[in-house]
Amino acid sequence: MKSIQALREQKQNLAREARNQLAQKGDRTWTKEDQAIFDKRSDEIEAIDNEIAAVERVMAMEVENDHSDVEQFRRAPENKAEAKGREMFAKLVRFGPSALSTEELQQVRNTMSTGTGSQGGYTVQTDVAKQLIE
């Protein structure tokens, strides 16, 4: 399967050739050969458009399959604490730690560890890790 970029370049070249053919003929009457060449280019351009659409559909399906786990983060928060947590996390990711108050930073730290290394204190919760990856 060709890349979308390669298909678009091929389409652009065919369109350029068709425009050149139109410019060269000007007002003169076209022969059957000229018309056949132009029609062939037009058909190739249409086939490339269809191939690009098919590749884009396949890519969209792959993205949907590969990122189906992201949907859980698009849902509305279940309670105020969860909403506040999401808000703080979004602020942290977008603007960095300096955007959070001391209290908010402490809450983020508490969310990300138990404080005891042997209990997983140095790991990141699964839902937080997924959001970071996202």
Largest CA distance in the chain: 86
> In this predicted model, what pLDDT tens digit does every residue of 7-63 receive, in sequence order?
999 999 999 999 999 898 888 888 999 999 999 999 999 999 999 999 888 888 887
> Using an 8 Å Cβ cutoff, are 52 and 4 in contact?
yes
What is the SS3 assignment for 73-94? HHCCCCCHHHHHHHHHHHHHHH
- Taking the complete model, does pTM exceed 0.75, yes or no? no
Give the Å distances, CA to CA, from 85 to 39, 45, 82, 97, 131.
Answer: 60, 51, 5, 14, 12
> In this predicted model, what pLDDT tens digit does every residue of 90-122 receive, in sequence order?
888 788 888 888 888 887 777 665 556 555 555
d(CA 25, CA 45): 20
Mean pLDDT to the nearest integer, 57-82: 70
d(CA 127, CA 46): 45
Q: Where are the chain's structural domains?
A: 4-66, 71-133
Of the CA atoms within 13 Å of residue 34, those in its CB half-sphere come to 12
Mean pLDDT to the nearest integer, 83-90: 78
> Using an 8 Å Cβ cutoff, are 93 and 108 in contact?
no
